[in-house]
């Protein structure tokens, strides 16, 4: 069993559920070291003070500059002593509909697991959230920062989803976005109908296991080739960008996309699905002839 990052309790009303906090993500990033090109020796980043003297890890402390050039140092005990309840409690403040929180607010997931004494309360909260279709909005302190969070049931586990605060999200007002006037934008009903057919042709059940980090795999393969033969074939040139002033025939691209998708799926489609899609295409064509 993995080691918990944090131990405390979920608190709502007078109920306290002892839990541990566990990371729910595994960041599988490739790590690269900086090297001296001349000698291929590793470049180390040393922590130095203002006198350019190296500082050992045990002598590094956290400090807050409360006046220019004047610092107050804080230990881990100081952070907990500031508010011992906050640092050991996931304090539920409200319950909201499961679909009310916009996806842009979600930042990072953690798993919550009960201690032996918290199993009944854990199951009670999980089942209540399931049946009510709601999630809990909470506050939690992790390390030295207080987070807004949501407690969400996912199968048998309660997930603590750290949320962004509203002020941390930039408003899209400054972006140059197309408006709702589709006629002014040149978007036709035929194009929408064809785009809807493409969407329907690409609908499939959500299966996260089928998606892979293909760029990472390609990069690892390139590294292995380079290690074995000392060189690799030149990387293929990227497709040229569409000139800004050139008119793009979206309709023809949509048609080609639908045809290619159907050709790939072929025998996987049911006759009924083909008939439905064919009828939709005929109606679209008839509509275009009438227009």
Burial code of 190-219, b = ≥16 C-beta within 10 A, e = fewer? Answer: ebebbbebbeebeeeeeeeeeeeeeeeeee
Query: C-alpha distances in angstroms, 119 versus 9, 87, 126, 163, 164?
Result: 12, 21, 11, 26, 29
Q: What is the pLDDT of residues 196-246, one digit of tens each?
A: 998 898 888 988 888 787 877 777 787 777 777 765 445 455 555 555 545
Write down the pLDDT at residue 286. 35
Predicted TM-score (pTM) of this structure: 0.63
75 neighbors 63 (Cβ within 8 angstroms): no
Burial code of 59-87, b = ≥16 C-beta within 10 A, e = fewer? Answer: eeeeeeeeeeeeeeeeeeeeeeeeeeeeb
pLDDT above 90: percentage of residues in the chain: 27
Write down the pLDDT at residue 83. 58
Write down the pLDDT at residue 97. 95
What is the domain partition of the chain in residue ranges? 6-25+80-166, 181-202+248-263+273-286
23 neighbors 2 (Cβ within 8 angstroms): yes
Q: What is the pLDDT of residues 96-145, one digit of tens each?
A: 998 999 999 999 999 999 999 999 999 999 999 999 999 999 999 887 78
Q: Find, among 193, 200, 190, the residue nearest to 269 by Cα.
A: 200
CATH fold group of domain 6-25+80-166: Ku70; Chain: A; Domain 2 (2.40.290)
H-helix or E-strand spanning residue 125: helix 119-132
Backbone angles phi, psi at 129, to 5 degrees: -65, -40
Show the tokens assigned to 260.
């290619």
Show the tokens assigned to 29.
């990033």
């Amino acid at each position: 069993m993995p080691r918990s990052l944090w131990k405390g309790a979920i608190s709502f009303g007078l109920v306290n559920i002892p839990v541990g906090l566990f990371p729910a993500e595994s960041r599988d990033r490739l790590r690269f070291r900086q090297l001296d090109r001349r000698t291929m020796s590793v470049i180390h980043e040393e922590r130095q003070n203002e006198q350019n003297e190296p500082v050992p890890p045990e002598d590094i402390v956290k400090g807050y500059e409360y006046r220019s050039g004047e610092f107050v140092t804080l230990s881990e005990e100081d952070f907990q002593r500031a508010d011992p309840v906050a640092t050991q409690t996931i304090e539920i403040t409200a319950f909201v509909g499961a679909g009310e929180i916009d996806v842009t607010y979600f930042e990072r997931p953690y798993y919550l697991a009960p201690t032996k004494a918290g199993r009944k309360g854990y199951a009670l909260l999980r089942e209540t959230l399931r049946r009510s279709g709601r999630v809990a909005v909470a506050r939690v302190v992790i390390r030295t920062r207080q987070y807004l969070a949501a407690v969400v049931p996912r199968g048998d586990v309660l997930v603590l989803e750290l949320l962004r605060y509203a002020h941390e999200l930039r408003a899209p007002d400054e972006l140059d976005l197309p408006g709702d006037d589709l006629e002014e934008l040149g978007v036709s009903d035929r194009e929408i109908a064809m785009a809807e057919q493409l969407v329907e042709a690409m609908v499939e059940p959500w299966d996260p296991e089928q998606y892979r980090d293909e760029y990472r795999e390609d990069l690892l393969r390139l590294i292995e080739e380079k290690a074995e033969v000392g060189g690799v074939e030149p990387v293929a040139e990227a497709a040229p960008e569409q000139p800004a002033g050139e008119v793009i025939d979206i309709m023809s691209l949509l048609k080609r996309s639908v045809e290619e998708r159907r050709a790939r799926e072929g025998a996987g489609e049911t006759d009924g699905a083909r008939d439905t899609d064919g009828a939709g295409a005929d109606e679209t064509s008839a509509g275009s002839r009438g227009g």
